[in-house]
Amino acid sequence: MEYALLIYGDEKVWASRDEEQGRDNNVRHERFAGMLARRDAMRGGKQLALASSATTLRHSDGDVSITDGPFAETAEVFGGFYLIEAADLDAAIALAKELPEGVVEIRPIVPMAESGS
């Protein structure tokens, strides 16, 4: 089963890292990604641009509005994700415990129905 490991954190903290701290963080993520690859659990993942670069689209009563920025102002923002393969939630949690981030949300991926086209 596939799971998304969603990484949340404070962009101000991320931005305050000096060059060495940034490199150290990258090394920790490279180790994590390598561990996933060795276990054949890595399916993908990406770091996201800052929340301030987001564009939010809202549908309401047949109208669509588009605004710059994230949906809500919060201290913790969605900063990136890993897409993994794990036998079950317990296995996904065990892998997520190795992720070098403070807040990780684990969500099962809902398989898409075959379109037949």
29 vs 35: CA distance, rounded Å: 10
Looking at residue 74, its pLDDT comes to: 67
Name the stretches of the chain with pLDDT < 50. Answer: none
Looking at residue 70, its pLDDT comes to: 66
Element (H, E) at 24: helix 19-38
Give the model confidence (pLDDT) of 57-78 as tens digits: 889 899 998 888 766 666 788 8
Half-sphere exposure of 19 (CA within 13 A, CB side): 0
Q: In the chain, at which residue ranges do the beta strands (DSSP E only) sit?
A: 2-10, 42-47, 55-60, 63-68, 76-85, 103-108
First to last CA, the chain: 24
Looking at residue 103, its pLDDT comes to: 92
99 vs 93: CA distance, rounded Å: 10
Which CATH number is 2-108's, of 3.90.230.10, 3.40.630.10, 3.30.70.1060, 1.10.10.10?
Answer: 3.30.70.1060
